[in-house]
Amino acid sequence: MIRQKFAGFLMAASLLGMTTMTACLKTSNSSTQTTWAYSTVINAYPDTVGVNINDGSTLLDTTRFKFRDWTVLRDVPGIHNYNFTTYQTSTQVAGLVAASFDSLSYHTIILYGVGKIANLSENFDGTTADSANIRFYHLSDTTAPVDVYINNQIVFSQVSYTPSTGFFQTWTKFPASSNANLQVKLHSNDSVIVTRTIDLVQANAYQLYLNGYLHGVGSQKIYVNLASYATSY
């Protein structure tokens, strides 16, 4: 089962604090509650103000959830109406209506574009313990198709804006590497638009996501972030 293969999801946020935010989220009122529904939440909504996470009209966390950040949401299994509002206001950006979450599945929730949201029920069956497992989403609607290189090896080719082509859920194997060189190039002319280093740990899964604006500045500049799904083979 997925929960057996990936039992340490919540660990990802604490182990990678440089790229995550810790949320003080809603918990069960029952002292006997022992199971949880987990989701990785990614904020790829290019707004400098940031957002808050709610369940219906209940504010789950007062922390500013900034653009590019990700966190792990732990909540009681059941039906939820997760929605995002502009930080410290009641202005809704996007939300899920009557979405089901249970303890035997894992979700990735992505806020992106202008008031758009994706809710993915993950399938980790294709991941392996002998390598890192990676996936790349193109979430910059102002950027043409791109190629993704890691350590000068092309890993993803001619990737278009993912919401237009579909949020595929397959994973690609890549050798574990420390300080790996990541480059994103425009497919049309091979020009580099993003470069950074990343750590890829064996057996873990990584969601890479291109976000921001191609000609953006400051915090809205084009960039690639990654969320880590810790594993327990």
Residue 101 CB-half CA count within 13 A:
26
Please indicate, yes or no, whether residues 70 and 157 belong to a single structural domain of this protein.
no
Residues 6+ apart with CB under 8 A from 32: none
Of 123, 150, 121, 116, give the one whose Cα is nearest residue 136: 150
Where are the extended beta strands (E) located within 20-91? Answer: 37-44, 51-55, 58-59, 70-75, 78-80, 82-86
84 — alpha (psi -120 to 50), left (phi > 0) or beta? beta
Q: How far is CA 65 from the centre of its chain?
A: 13
Q: How far apart are CA 163 and CA 141, in angstroms?
A: 9
User: Which of 121, 142, 177 is where one domain is finished?
Assistant: 121
Domain stop point among 121, 144, 178: 121
* Per-residue pLDDT, 232: 54
pTM: 0.86
Whether residues 63 and 82 fall in one domain: yes
**Are 111 and 211 in a shared domain?**
no
Whether 132 and 206 have beta carbons less than 8 Å apart is answered as yes
Residue-number span of the structural domain to which 150 is assigned:
132-229
Give pLDDT tens digits for 106-153.
999 999 998 899 999 998 988 999 999 999 999 999 999 999 999 999
Nearest of 66, 64, 20 to residue 43 by alpha carbon: 66
Count how many domains the chain has. Answer: 2
Tokens, residue 67: 């653009």
Average pLDDT of 152-164? Answer: 98
Give yes or no: residues 48 and 17 share one domain: yes
**Residue 211 domain flag:** yes
pLDDT digits (tens, 9 = 90+) for 49-102: 999 999 999 999 899 999 999 999 999 999 999 999 999 988 999 999 999 999
User: Would 72 be classed as within a structural domain?
Assistant: yes
> Is 126 a domain residue?
no
Let me know whether 105 and 138 are in one domain. Answer: no
